[in-house]
Amino acid sequence: MLLGVDPGLASTGYAVLRASGGLLRATELGTVRTSPDTPHAQRLCALADGVAAVLERHRFEAAAVESWFAHPVSRTAMAMAEARGAILAQIARSGVPVTEYSPNAIKSAVTGHGRADKRQVRLMVGRLADAEPGSDHAADALAAAICHASGSPLREAIRRAR
């Protein structure tokens, strides 16, 4: 099982992906949401708790998280970085290995084009993993998991060669 995560302070998408023999199947998709009316520290806790709940429901071999992208320094960028930190720490605490992928690498893995739009990503993840993502965040999380699954055989061959 693979965990895919699309981190965000207001909405964090997650996806549970079963990859077996070249077949992909999404088994759980969702979004952890926080309210801007909630104190910031509590929002970070809610994100970590939401991811922890998913981690408790499944046995994961690995997690794929969308990485930070170039963003001007701003309050929004800082909040996003803090949300990612809370999520990454929670996954690491669970003992699941985490790999981060750029948005372009994820889009390229699922659509063949690193600049695909949200609609294209959503359409392709639905087809590749027999799923109907309920939100763009869940679709992006599923895309991250698919990206990881598509590179797993190569990573394993490299590991064995070392």
Distance CA 19, CA 25 (A): 7
Is 49 labeled as catalytic in the residue annotation? no
Helix (H) or strand (E) holding 19: strand 11-20
Helix (H) or strand (E) holding 16: strand 11-20
Instruction: Read off the DSSP letter of residue 38.
Output: S
User: CB-based burial of residue 13 (10 Å sphere; 0-12 exposed, 13-18 middle, 19+ buried)?
Assistant: buried
Is 6 labeled as catalytic in the residue annotation? yes
Distance CA 160, CA 76 (A): 41
Is 61 labeled as catalytic in the residue annotation? no
Active site residue: 37, 58, 82, 137, which one?
137
Active site residue: 6, 28, 61, 130, which one?
6
Pairing label, strands 2-6, 11-20:
antiparallel
Active site residue: 28, 66, 100, 156, which one?
66
123 φ, ψ to 5°?
Answer: -60, -45
As annotated, the active-site residues are 6, 66, 137
